[in-house]
C-alpha cells in the first residue's frame, strides 16, 4: 500500500523513455515549423498566360509529353526559395500554363503544398510524398548539415517517386531563379542512350571530391578510367526518367552510398554518387543554365561574382542563401537579383 510522504517509483524502461522523448521532439519540431509557416505570409503571385503558339493541354493533365515537367523538393527551410523559383519560372516562360510542377516532400510536410497553392492558386502541381526512411540509413555526415537532410537525396529516387507517365523532367534546386524560358532548358537533346544532361565544368578538380582512401584503392581508383569525367552540379539536371528506370540507376547510386557507409570514399553529401555513376556520360548544357556558387563555399558562404558569359539561371549553391542574408541585413550584391522574386509579405510591402 502506498503511504503519504513516501516516494512512488514506477518502472521506466530506458528504451521506453527514449522513445517518448523522441516522439515529443518530433511533435515539437512539427508544431514549431507549422506555426512558423503560419506566421509567414506570402503574397499571391500574378497569373501568367500562354502565348498564342503554345499547344493546348488540359489543366488536369499532369502526364502530357507536351508539358515541361519540373521536379523540386519542398521543405520548410527552403520554402521561401522554392516560391521565388516558381515565380521566376512562370514569369519567364513562353508557355507557363503548360508547366507541370512535381513537389517532393516528406509525409509530415505535405501541408507546405497548401502554402504554395495559396500564392499560386492556378498552378498545375502535384505533391509526391517521399519516405525518408528509405535513405536515412544510407546518409553519411558531410561538411554541412543541410547536405545531410534526407530530402536532399530525393533526386536519387526521382524516377521511382514520379508517376511512370512522366518520361522526362527538369530537376531544380530551390535556391535559384530563372531569367530565361525553361522550355529551352527542357528541350536539351540527350542523344542516344544518355540519361541526363547538365552543365559540365571540366576545369574543376574532380579528384578533390573523393578521399585518399578512394584513390588509394586499386579497384576504386579505376572507376573513371576511359571516361572524360567532369564535375557537374546536380541542382540543375534534365533527366530521361524512362532510361533511368530501364537502367535502374537508383540501385547504382545506392550501391555507392552503401560502400560509403563501410569505408569513407567522399565528403560532400549527395553529389559524389552522381559523379561516380554519370560523370563523363552526360549530355552537355550551356553554362548559362547554371551560374552556380553564388552562395559561396560550404563553410563561410562569402559573396561571389557571376562567371563570365550570359546568364539564364542564377543558383545560390553553397552556404549563403539570399533570403537569409537579406533578413540579416548583410546581402551580397547579387542577392538583389533574387529579391524581386521574393513573395514574402512584409509589413512594409506594397502591392501594385
Where do the structural domains in the chain lie, given as residue ranges? Answer: 68-290
The whole-number pLDDT of residue 26 equals: 41
Strand (E) or helix (H) holding 216: helix 212-216
pLDDT at residue 24 is higher than 80: no
| pLDDT, tens digit, 9 for 90 and up, residues 187-200 | 999 999 899 999 99
Give residue 117's pLDDT band: very low, low, confident or very high (50, 70, 90). very high
269-308 pLDDT, tens per residue?
899 999 999 999 999 999 999 999 999 887 777 899 998 9
**More confident call, 30 vs 285:** 285
Please provide residue 148's backbone torsions phi and psi, each rounded to the nearest 5 degrees.
-95, 0
Q: What is the mean pLDDT of residues 23-49?
A: 64
**What architecture does CATH give domain 68-290?**
Alpha-Beta Complex (3.90)
Q: pLDDT tens digit string along 197-251?
A: 999 999 999 999 999 999 999 999 999 999 999 999 999 999 999 999 999 999 9
Query: How deeply is 2 buried, as exposed, middle or buried, from its count of CB atoms within 10 A (0-12, 13-18, 19+)?
Result: exposed
- State the pairing for strand pair 99-105/68-73: parallel
Q: For residue 36, what pLDDT band results from cuts at 50, 70 and 90?
A: very low
d(CA 324, CA 294) in angstroms, rounded, equals 13
pLDDT in tens, 69-79: 999 999 999 99
Distances (CA, A) of 249 to 241, 245, 323: 10, 7, 34
In the chain, the percentage of residues whose pLDDT exceeds 70 is: 86
**Mean pLDDT value of segment 74-93:** 97
Q: By the 8 A CB rule, do 163 and 63 touch?
A: yes
Whole-number average pLDDT of the chain: 88
Amino acid at each position: 500500500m502506498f503511504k503519504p510522504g513516501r516516494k512512488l517509483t514506477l518502472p521506466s524502461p530506458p528504451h521506453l523513455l527514449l522513445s517518448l522523448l523522441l516522439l515529443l521532439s518530433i511533435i515539437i519540431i512539427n508544431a514549431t515549423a507549422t506555426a512558423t509557416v503560419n506566421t509567414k505570409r506570402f503574397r499571391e503571385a500574378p497569373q501568367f498566360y500562354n502565348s498564342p503558339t503554345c499547344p493546348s493541354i488540359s489543366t488536369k493533365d499532369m502526364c502530357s509529353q507536351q508539358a515541361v515537367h519540373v521536379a523540386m523538393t519542398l521543405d520548410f527551410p527552403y520554402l521561401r526559395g522554392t516560391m521565388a523559383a516558381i515565380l521566376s519560372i512562370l514569369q519567364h516562360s513562353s508557355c507557363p500554363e503548360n508547366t507541370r510542377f512535381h513537389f517532393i516532400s516528406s509525409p509530415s510536410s505535405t501541408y507546405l503544398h497548401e502554402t504554395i497553392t495559396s500564392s499560386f492558386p492556378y498552378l498545375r502541381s502535384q505533391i509526391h510524398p517521399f519516405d525518408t526512411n528509405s535513405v536515412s540509413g544510407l546518409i553519411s555526415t558531410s561538411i554541412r548539415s543541410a547536405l545531410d537532410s534526407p530530402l536532399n537525396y530525393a533526386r536519387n529516387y526521382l524516377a521511382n517517386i514520379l508517376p511512370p507517365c512522366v518520361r522526362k523532367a527538369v530537376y531544380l534546386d530551390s535556391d535559384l531563379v530563372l531569367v530565361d524560358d525553361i522550355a529551352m532548358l527542357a528541350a536539351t537533346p540527350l542523344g542516344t542512350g544518355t540519361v541526363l544532361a547538365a552543365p559540365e565544368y571540366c576545369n574543376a578538380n574532380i579528384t578533390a571530391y573523393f578521399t585518399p582512401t578512394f584513390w588509394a584503392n586499386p579497384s576504386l581508383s579505376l572507376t573513371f578510367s576511359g571516361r572524360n569525367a567532369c564535375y557537374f552540379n546536380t541542382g540543375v539536371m534534365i533527366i530521361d526518367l524512362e532510361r533511368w528506370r530501364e537502367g535502374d540507376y537508383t540501385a547504382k547510386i545506392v550501391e555507392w552510398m552503401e560502400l560509403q557507409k563501410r569505408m569513407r570514399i567522399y565528403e560532400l553529401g549527395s553529389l559524389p554518387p552522381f559523379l561516380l555513376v554519370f560523370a563523363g556520360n552526360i549530355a552537355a548544357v550551356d553554362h548559362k543554365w547554371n551560374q552556380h556558387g553564388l552562395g559561396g563555399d560550404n563553410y563561410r558562404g562569402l559573396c561571389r561574382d557571376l562567371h563570365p558569359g550570359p546568364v539564364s539561371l542564377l543558383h545560390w549553391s553553397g552556404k549563403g542563401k539570399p533570403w537569409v542574408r537579406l533578413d540579416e541585413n548583410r546581402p551580397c550584391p547579387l542577392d538583389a537579383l533574387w529579391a524581386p522574386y521574393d513573395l514574402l509579405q512584409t509589413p512594409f510591402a506594397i502591392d501594385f
